[in-house]
Structure 1
Amino acid sequence: MQQTTNTILMIRPINFRMNEQTAVNNYYQKVLDTLLPETVNAKAQQEFDSYVEKLQNVGVNVVVVNDTTEFDTPDSIFPNNWISFHENGTVALYPMFAENRRLERREDVLIQLEDKGFIIKDIVDYTSAEEEDVFLEGTGSLLLDRVNRKAYCALSPRADESLFIEFCEDFEFTPVVFHANQTVKGERKAIYHTNVMMCLAETFAVICLDSIDDKKERKNVIEHLTSDGKEIIAITEDQVNSFAGNMLQVKGENNKRFLVMSQAAYQVLNQEQISKIETHCEILSSSLDTIEACGGGSARCMMAEVFLPKA
């Protein structure tokens, strides 16, 4: 089992904009009134292309699939929410909260991966849960410790506990469940995705412990991470607001490890946090300002990790 992969699936946007259907519980999204929709999309494409180039330059194998104009899919740039790929050749498909995000699921994405020599043996499809208004948004909701077989999940309107437990049973992960909150206009509200406040790497975890209000739950998460030998690098809620939790460790050339994040995330980290991360791996950052503002997601959300076996 490996925790990190060298292959990443990314979807290049065609109609990127702020998705009004997700804004109801994603408090990181903003309307950029000063920019025309086509300008927003052009800026997002520019940020996307630059980001892909940076990953490829360090030897990450990026499979870029273009979005289609067939449907209105403003969030297609975040594929990690509808699909996950596993080392045994299994693909999981997930139920999505926003109706227009359900249109992102595309069979041709799987065909393109198979054309590149990846083997898909089985598809586990949880999408029928949408009929009951039950959601679990992929590796946005689930943080997988693939080596220690643990799955971390902050419950929210987009992460249902019973479906999370079902996933853990199907894929043989031990569930670690908790609640993570942020302050919105003076009220504590659920953070919409676990991967906004937590990043799980091979030998460390970047996590906003302050967002786990329940002391027992916080203690439980800390115990799981430390018992698996992971150094905990704590970040603040303010840093989470700049997407400092939304990071992913990947493998580049010669299996060199990189922690990938946005420029905004990197800029809010203090020197101590940067030094701690750099004892484990190198940092790679890229400017994603437009994507973060309109999409309410960042560097990690844009990457779906491919762990499938190759022919």
Structure 2
Amino acid sequence: MNQGTALHLKWPRQSKLQCSVQNANCVVMVPPKEFGFNAETAKDNEFQQPVTMDSVAVRAAAMGEFNTMVAALRKVGVQVVEFDYPKSEQETPDAVFPNNWFSTTQDGAFYTFPMACNNRQHEVRPEALMKSLRAAGRVIIATDSMESYAKRGAYLESTGVMVKDHVNRTIYAALSQRCEREALEDYAKRIGYHRVVSFQTALPSGLPIYHTNVMMAIGENFAVICADLIPEYERRFVIKSLAKSKQVITISEPQMNHFCGNILQLETVNGDKVIAMSQSAYDAFTPSQRQQLSTHGKLLPFDVSTIETVGGGSVRCMLSEIFLPSRVKSL
């Protein structure tokens, strides 16, 4: 695919597995077989916390959380592609968060992205993943890469830093060392999205939020956001933009710290809406907020406390949406 262009492909008919505009019905998940505390990412990820458990116990606990989540998603009808990659000399403690290095579009494009942390760059295995996606019945027509930006020290960590309103072709993004403005706007042009809403954030430490998807989520008709992190002059603009077409549910910073912003609306293969979140997030939402969210889909809470504490990411980080067309069998 050429830089600055978007694919415009027409499909003669859709299969039952075709997803909607906003929500995917298929996700990639990566087992945490090398999971552990990543000192490199902890430099700007304040959600990570070291624990007293040894590495074997941490990985065993994380694997249990992962397997339970995979089984539950499949049970409700979300297609899960489990990408069990081969180990390399360099361990990848954060591979359980695959949404940071690739994304897909309904046009059949597969994109890879530059990641800021060196040991996370070893997670990028596009050929192996595309093979798994094709085996799962998904069609890849073109590939493109944003990774050349890394040569100039610019990074864009996919749907970690970009929260997409696919319905309105708008990308929301908190700028940080993991989200460079030029790369962000370039990517938006490549996929044909006409609007980018980027903004600054500040935690109590003074650091920006490391990933937008920790403070913000967008569904088909709702948005969750920790607006207090955004400077007031930008905050009003972001909220107004979201409110044009979404029910806006604002969360506090303590709620964000329990990963209330790190949730994801999905669809089952039958078109039913579900909202995946951690048990920590579910418990931190107020009853009225849970009621509001439940009008947009069945709430699916998962206990991923080990992964949240050690890895600094939650359920949404573990889910890479697959929007690729599904292969249609001839009649």
TM range (shorter): over 0.9
Matched residue type, 2:216: M
3-state secondary structure, aligned to 1:189: coil
**C-alpha deviation, 1:189, in angstroms:** 1.6
Where has structure 1 moved over 3 Å in runs of 4 or more? none
Counterpart of 2:80 in structure 1: which amino acid?
V
Q: Give TM-score scaled by structure 1 length.
A: 0.96
Q: Contact 1:155–1:180 (CA<8 Å) still a contact in 2?
A: yes
Q: Does residue 304 of structure 2 align to residue 288 of structure 1?
A: yes
Task: Give the corresponding residue for 1:112.
Answer: 132
Matched, 1:211 2:232: no
- Distance of 2:142 and 2:241 partners within structure 1: 30
Q: Is the 8 A contact 2:37 2:311 kept in 1?
A: yes
Structure 2 Cα separation of the partners of residues 68 and 78 of structure 1: 16
Superposed displacement of residue 280, structure 1: 1.8
Matched, 1:277 2:293: yes
Q: Hey, what does 1:251 align to over in structure 2?
A: 267
CA contact (8 A) 2:109 2:141 kept: yes
Q: Distance in 1 between matches of 2:66 and 2:202?
A: 29
Superposition pairs of residues 57-72 of structure 1, within 5 angstroms: 57-70=75-88, 71-72=90-91
Residue 231 of structure 1: aligned partner: 247
Q: Deviations over 1:100-120 (max 9, x none)?
A: 111111120111111222111
Please report how far the alpha carbon of residue 290 of structure 1 lies from its aligned counterpart in structure 2 after TM superposition: 0.5
Paired residue type of 2:222: F
2:199 pairs with one of 178, 185, 205:
178
Report 1:10-49 matches (<5 A): 10-32=29-51, 34-49=52-67
Inter-partner Cα distance in structure 2 for 1:308 and 1:240? 31
Unmatched segments (≥5 aa) in structure 2 = 1-19
Q: 2:310, 2:249 → 1: CA distance?
A: 28
TM-score when normalising by structure 2: 0.90
Contact 1:150 1:176 in 2 (8 A): yes
Output the CA distance in 2 between the equivalents of 1:143 and 1:206.
11
Classify the secondary structure of the residue corresponding to 2:115.
coil
Q: Which residue of 1 aligns with 2:14?
A: none
Establish whether residue 98 from structure 1 lines up as the match of residue 98 from structure 2: no
Which structure: greater strand fraction? 1
Which letter does structure 2 place at the counterpart of 1:133? G
Measured against aligned partners, the alpha-carbon deviations of 1:234-263 in whole angstroms (never above 9, x if no partner) come to: 100001111110000001252111111000
Further displaced range: 116-125 or 137-146:
116-125
Contact 2:81 2:136 in 1 (8 A): no
Alignment-mate amino acid for residue 234 of structure 2: E
Residues matched between the structures, number = 305
Structure 1 CA distance for aligned equivalents of residues 35 and 301 of structure 2: 21
Give the 3-state SS of the residue equivalent to 1:63 in structure 2: strand
Alignment pair present for 1:145 and 2:165? yes
Distance of 2:320 and 2:56 partners within structure 1: 26
Structure 2 letter corresponding to 1:13: P
5+ unaligned residues in a row in structure 1: which ranges? none
What is the distance in 1 between the residues matched to 2:144 and 2:197? 21
